[in-house]
């Protein structure tokens, strides 16, 4: 996993739980935590961090990842402000994951193993994307999508009728904008 994701999570933990919280989390997890944004780190380190933080905060791992994604989106957007100007709303951003965002991620972070999102359906105020990744971080993806909606001042509901964690071969994220796009 790319270091920038660890950095965004670190910033979120420090902002919400105090400057010492990140170091305490790393100590409890048994990790050194020297994550640089351009570095690549073993996926199991993220898994250990999520397990440790979820236990410490009394949240399920799903809730924690959703929260970290939602809050972390604004930090990722700020780091990539030039990329964000290409999008007018959360829908356009979600539709641009494979064609705009992830190619840019690969330019900045060579070797990045990004998830693949394919449009399953999308019309009106609903859209479904399949999510495929060996990491199984679909809940982080849900949170990032909700953070994108927050960024654009939208209300969005995300559900996941198919999930790798529940035996599916992929995840399907369904997005609904209650204020009905017409």
What is the rounded CA–CA span in Å between residue 129 and residue 94?
Answer: 9
CATH 3.90.1520.10 fits 1-182, yes or no: yes
- 157-162 vs 126-132, strand pairing mode: unpaired
pLDDT at 180: 54
- Contact of 147 with 74, CB cutoff 8 Å: yes
Please give the model's pTM, rounded to 2 decimal places: 0.91
List per-block mean pLDDT (blocks of 10 residues) for the chain, which spans 182 residues: 91 94 96 90 94 94 96 93 89 90 84 86 89 92 96 96 94 88 45
Any idea where the domains of the chain sit in the sequence? 1-182
Measure CA of the first residue to CA of the last residue in the chain; give whole Å. Answer: 38
pLDDT at 170: 92
């Amino acid at each position: 996993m790319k270091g920038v994701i660890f950095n965004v999570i670190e910033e979120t933990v420090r902002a919400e739980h105090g400057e010492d919280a990140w170091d305490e989390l790393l100590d409890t997890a048994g990790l050194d935590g020297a994550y640089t944004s351009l570095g690549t780190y073993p996926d199991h380190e993220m898994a250990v961090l999520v397990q440790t933080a979820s236990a410490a905060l009394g949240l399920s791992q799903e809730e924690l990842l959703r929260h970290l994604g939602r809050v972390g989106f604004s930090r990722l957007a700020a780091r990539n402000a030039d990329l964000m100007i290409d999008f007018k709303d959360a829908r356009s951003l979600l539709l641009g994951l494979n064609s705009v965002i992830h190619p840019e991620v690969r330019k900045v972070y060579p070797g990045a193993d990004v998830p693949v999102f394919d449009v399953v359906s999308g019309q009106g105020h609903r859209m479904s994307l399949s999510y495929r990744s060996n990491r199984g971080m679909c809940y982080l993806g849900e949170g990032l999508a909700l953070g994108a909606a927050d960024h654009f001042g939208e209300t969005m509901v995300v559900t996941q009728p198919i999930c790798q964690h529940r035996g599916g071969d992929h995840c399907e994220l369904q997005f609904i904008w209650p204020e009905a796009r017409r």
